[in-house]
Amino acid sequence: MAQNKFEPAKDIPNLEGKVILVTGGNAGIGKATIRAIALHDPARIYLCARRRSAAETAAAELRAESQYNRIDVLDLDLASLESIKKCAAEFNEKENRLDVLFLNAGVASTAPALTQEGYEFQFGVNHVGHALLTQLLMPKMLQTRRADPKADVRIVATASNAAFAPFLPKGGLVLNAMREPNAYSPISLYAHSKLANVLFIRKISQMYPDISAIAAHPGVVKSDIWGKGAGGLFSMLYRPVVWATWVNIDQGAKSQLWCATAPLGGATGVKTGQYYQPVGKIRMLKGAAADQKLADELWKWTTNELASHDGNGWPAV
């Protein structure tokens, strides 16, 4: 499948009436994603970020650039399940629909640490936090579909080719080590969290067939995420590759923008449960990423963990 020619300014259709939420929208490809979709007149865009001051600054810049004023800020710290609950509750109180959920925020190769609830930091932010947010917003997405059976509801997760990397932990998933901050190297733990993203999207597509769930690799993007690495092997071997092959954030956002707005189905359209490389090119899953048993294991583990923190559970279809 050849790469699609995709220019957001002309190829994204009118988004009138759609409500869109972007995690990590204050910087990098999250900010670029909001910049692009603001030009197509959605009903409202929610910019979610951990630091309120940075989020408000980014929102003001985006409003001024686009002359689109319906960008609202929500506080969201993906390393805190309580913060995620508050964010989802605020959104659910304000809105009666959700059309596109961008699970965009993330961290890469950070120093060993734990989230507030004691999960390995990269896995906690990149997977557990986004899983809880998805669970809490799923009733709103299902409501959107029930109110309008023709509604095009999508979840787009920012993934990475690290999900297929040779430095994944042996066996792919090591869920029993996800309360240990340094069980593996930072780059292996990053790959582990990105594998979880791919498996989670695949399982969501199976559990909720009326909602399109897609994983998008942005390419190697020169953004703030690479400035927060833990050093060591990552710094010596991988970071030089990043700087040598990078694309800018607007180019990097194209992959998830295509997944969120291109027509569904057909020979060249968006297909739920798939993993896309830039732009609109399916990468066939293999290894741990193609293992249905691992997808089922991750879903069960995640569901149980969220329930232990008073999650609402996954709603019925």
For the annotated catalytic residues, the residue numbers are: 184
Tokens of 55: 């989020």
How far CA 309 is from CA of 176, 273, 303, in Å, comes to: 17, 27, 10
Residue 281, both tokens = 């090119």
User: Encoding tokens for residue 217?
Assistant: 């690799």
Distance from C-alpha of 101 to C-alpha of 46, rounded to nearest angstrom: 10
Cβ within 8 Å of residue 185, ≥6 positions away: 167, 232, 233, 234
Angle (CA) 250-255-256 rounded to 5° is 95
Q: Which residues pair with 282 in a beta bridge?
A: 276
- Are 137 and 101 within 8 A, CB to CB? yes
* Nearest in space to 230 (alpha carbons), one of 179, 196, 175, 189: 189
Locate 119 and state its tokens: 């999960």
Separation CA 62–CA 57 (nearest Å): 9
